Amino acid sequence: MEFFNQIRSILTVGLILFFVAESAIIQISEAEAKKWLNKYNVDAEKYFFEATEADWNYNTNLTDYNLAISVSLFSNDLANFTETKAKEANKFAWKNFTDELLKREFSKITDIGPASLSDKDFQRMSTLNSDMTKIYSTAKVCNKPNDSSGKCYPLDPDLSGVIAKSNDLDELTWAWKGWRDASGKLMPDMYEEFVSLLNKAAKINGYEDNGDYWRSWYESPTFRKDCEDLWLEIKPFYEQLHAYVRRKLQQKYPKLSFPKDGHIPAHLLGNMWAQAWNNIEYMVRPAPDLPSMDITDELVKQNYTALKIFQLSDQFFKSLGLIPMPEPFWQKSMIVKPADRDVVCHASAWDFYNRKDFRIKQCTTVNMGWFMTTHHEMGHIEYYLQYKEQPINFRSGANPGFHEAIADIASLSVATPEYLKSVGLLPNFVDNPSGDLNFLMNQALSKVAFLPFGYMIDQWRWDVFSGQTPRSQYNSKWWQNRCKYQGIYPPVKRSEFDFDAGSKFHVPNNTPYIRYFVAHIIQYQFQEALCKAAGNTRPLHRCNVAGSKEAGKKLSELMTSGASIPWPKVLQKLTGTDKMSAKPLMAYFKPLIDWLKKENQGQKVGWDEKCPPGSL
């Protein structure tokens, strides 16, 4: 027995020495890894800046010359750098690191996405991406009804303006169909090849397909189910809003035959993609005798310019004690559409990765929609400013939805009557329950109407990536999703010769979209927590956090960590829960929900999931 005890003691000491030695090796490896990271981050800033600058130059001046430079820098420089550094990082046993933050940074460096493709494939993918974006950004529609000028019209501000303002059904149909003919219809073969390259890269990196890769960013094995559960929780509210709006549109267009299965024609909702319905607010306002919440006329009356809107937005963030826009922002941003060249007008915020250069690109016109968009994009910039000192691979949102939610935080406050009155843009608001309903309806037309659209785009795209939706079904599956989730249908017959997904910027530009759905849920969780910090005593929908340094401090704490901490922990720290929840959203809109249920009593609520016969 003594012999076995001695052997056991020797083995125990041996194991201890082994683990001590292994631990020492790991510590040495971690020390070397930190030295390697310091140089990596310095070099990465240079490569990311140069590639982003080239991409900016192309987006703000759509020439073949700028395209060639942009593709070259992404393909030959940034992609090669990313791939080389991933290989170097994998020489470290980083999965065994004891420093969790260090391990997290290495995991992001080694997850290189499309950069894993061969130079030839990556360049082809970049060219396809740029070509589709150029088609989208330069598309124009001619032969406007009752217009003999021969003029052709771009999306912004012309076609978007027709959809937003016109009540002429022929004109609405012309703009709706014409935009899709001039943009998406030219892309499906390119998109099919593009998808094959995205999937090839995803499989090289160990994912089933590109959808699997995109979902990995949310660090949750149940993410898809979580989103579905959130949608099902919100769906009854959306159905009530849909039913009320449908009835008002039927009254507005009595000669137009609405299908009996309950769908709404997609060109009647005031937006080219029917993703937000606030442009038809005047038709559906609960208290039509009270003033509108639309401040467009007041902005024009007070001689607002794009610059003045941006300056007011900057003032909102400064009132929270957050970081003012730096001087390069004002010098280098593109805030109006240039008259002398084609540009990508789709609004976007840009981080140039050198910790001092941040810009916005948008073709601002003076109206409420762009007023809200400006605050949204400035919210992105504020997030960039807050985490700019993080290592480069942590300079992003805690998850992609966080960035969009933070960007929308400003809109929840600046849309309130309290804020708009405080800056002189809503002088005639009547503060009573009917005025409250008008405000909530305006918010619902923007926020709640968007939710099924934000949900369905990546449902469609994930099925394309997985092969469940082949090229021959791109358009039919697109409309099956829109009919099912949004309860809308195309105003003219569609076929597989069309590619209506390509008429939405984020598809040809390859921007994942489920982030916007996530953002539209969690922004209300954020707002609830910020309002509590600000000492708000009003209902959640009337909370304006402008001027609250306490709310600003909470918001700054959330933003500063970037992607260095898993998002559930960031959410837990701010809100007290690590789960996404629709409860704050439902609480925000409760007065409107109750009112809609009463208004819709005895009326058809909902729609058939299948598209109306003859539409496809």
**CA–CA distance, 610 with 483 (Å, rounded to integer):** 6
Residues of the binding site for chloride: 218, 515
Angle separating helix axes 79-89 and 100-110, nearest 10 degrees: 140
Q: Are 309 and 420 in contact (CB under 8 A)?
A: no
Burial class (CB in 10 A: 0-12, 13-18, 19+), 296: middle
Radius of gyration, alpha carbons of the chain: 26
* Strand extents, DSSP E, 285-413: 348-351, 358-361
Q: Per the residue annotation, which of 281, 377, 382, 528 is the catalytic one? A: 377
Q: Count CA within 13 A, CB hemisphere, residue 346.
A: 16
- The stretches of 320-399 forming alpha helices (DSSP H) are 327-332, 368-386
**CA–CA distance, 315 with 32 (Å, rounded to integer):** 44
Q: Count CA within 13 A, CB hemisphere, residue 218.
A: 23
Burial class (CB in 10 A: 0-12, 13-18, 19+), 10: exposed
Q: Are 376 and 411 in contact (CB under 8 A)?
A: yes
Q: Per the residue annotation, which of 193, 506, 550, 599 is the catalytic one? A: 506
**CA–CA distance, 374 with 362 (Å, rounded to integer):** 9
Q: Are 574 and 557 in contact (CB under 8 A)?
A: yes
- The stretches of 139-280 forming alpha helices (DSSP H) are 160-165, 169-182, 188-204, 210-216, 223-252
- The stretches of 561-612 forming alpha helices (DSSP H) are 567-575, 583-588, 590-599
Q: Are 178 and 491 in contact (CB under 8 A)?
A: no
Q: What is the DSSP string of 211-246?
A: HHHHHHTT--TTHHHHHHHHHHHHHHHHHHHHHHHH
Active site residue 506: yes
**150: left (phi > 0), else alpha (psi -120 to 50), else beta?**
left
Residues of the binding site for Zn(2+): 376, 380, 404
DSSP 393: G
Residues of the binding site: 218, 376, 380, 404, 515
Q: Are 94 and 34 in contact (CB under 8 A)?
A: no
**Maximum C-alpha span of the chain:** 107
Q: Are 404 and 515 in contact (CB under 8 A)?
A: yes
Compute φ and ψ for 140, nearest 5 degrees.
-140, 155
**CA–CA distance, 264 with 278 (Å, rounded to integer):** 15
Active site residue 193: no
For residue 351, the cross-strand partners are 358
**CA–CA distance, 347 with 367 (Å, rounded to integer):** 15
Structure tokens at 201: 């890269």
DSSP 334: B
DSSP 612: P
Q: Count CA within 13 A, CB hemisphere, residue 111.
A: 15
Active-site annotation, residues: 377, 506
